[in-house]
Amino acid sequence: MTTPTTNVQSRPLPSHVAVLGAAGGLGQGILGVCRASRIGFTAIVRSRPERITDVPSGSRVVVVQSLADRRALTDAFSGADAVLTSLGVTATTHEHSALLSANMAVVEESMLAASVNRIVIVNTLLSSAPGQPASRAMRFFAWMPGTMGRGAREQQAVIDALGSGAFSPLRWTLVRAALNSRGKNERPVASADWDGALNSWSPVSYEAMGRWMLEEAVANQFIRAAPLVSRRRT
């Protein structure tokens, strides 16, 4: 078992990150930490770049309409220390070009072409680790209609792909976490499993999760692993 993260002091942060899905709640949380900590960012969105405001010098917003666009992704990843994903399935997400699971090979190729080999991928707290059978909860939600079902199927597809060797040339971390829009001062803890860990099942805020992902991009504590990240057990 990987030792849980217990240090409440800030850990080192990257100099520049590329954020896939930057316009969503978690994406905005990551960008907020970047601004506060003077981390350069490339905010990658599918449309409406004007939704990303307050772009500091050295940062930029890039429109990549398709995750199958290797040239556009390579340019967007250029200069980044790491790629952070905050992609989700919404009511308007129907095309395969918007799904990470359908385009992991292109994302991998683009990162390697841009000389970036660190990626931190967010997923759900209910998921099993890559290479393990889907949890009962994930199987249940995958059968649900609408966005919730499609979202669960997409999250499981990413997990299955990692378990089958996707991103194998990269230093990936699959973050299994629950998120909400409230709070910002909690310090998430992480562990490879629940046994003996300090984790609770309580969700963490977008800002706190964004900081943890940025820290892990440098700490490399969970390389090719799927830590559970949640609030500290009280």
User: Quick check: is 160 in a domain?
Assistant: no
User: Quick check: is 43 in a domain?
Assistant: yes
pLDDT digits (tens, 9 = 90+) for 112-165: 999 999 999 999 999 999 999 999 988 887 888 877 888 888 999 999 999 999
The tally of domains found in the chain comes to 1
Tell me how long the chain is.
Answer: 234
User: Quick check: is 28 in a domain?
Assistant: yes
User: Quick check: is 199 in a domain?
Assistant: yes
- Which residues pair with residue 171 across a beta bridge? 118
- Which residues pair with residue 174 across a beta bridge? 121
User: Quick check: is 11 in a domain?
Assistant: no
Domain range for 111 is 16-126+165-230
| Measured distance CA(163)–CA(233) in Å, rounded | 29
- What are the strands of the beta sheet with 40-45, ordered from one edge? 60-63, 40-45, 16-20, 82-85, 118-124, 171-177, 228-230, 189-191
pLDDT digits (tens, 9 = 90+) for 164-214: 999 999 999 999 998 887 776 788 999 998 888 999 989 999 999 999 999
Q: What is the pTM of this model?
A: 0.92
Which runs of E-coded beta strand occur in the chain? 16-20, 40-45, 60-63, 82-85, 118-124, 171-177, 179-180, 189-191, 204-205, 228-230
User: Quick check: is 139 in a domain?
Assistant: no
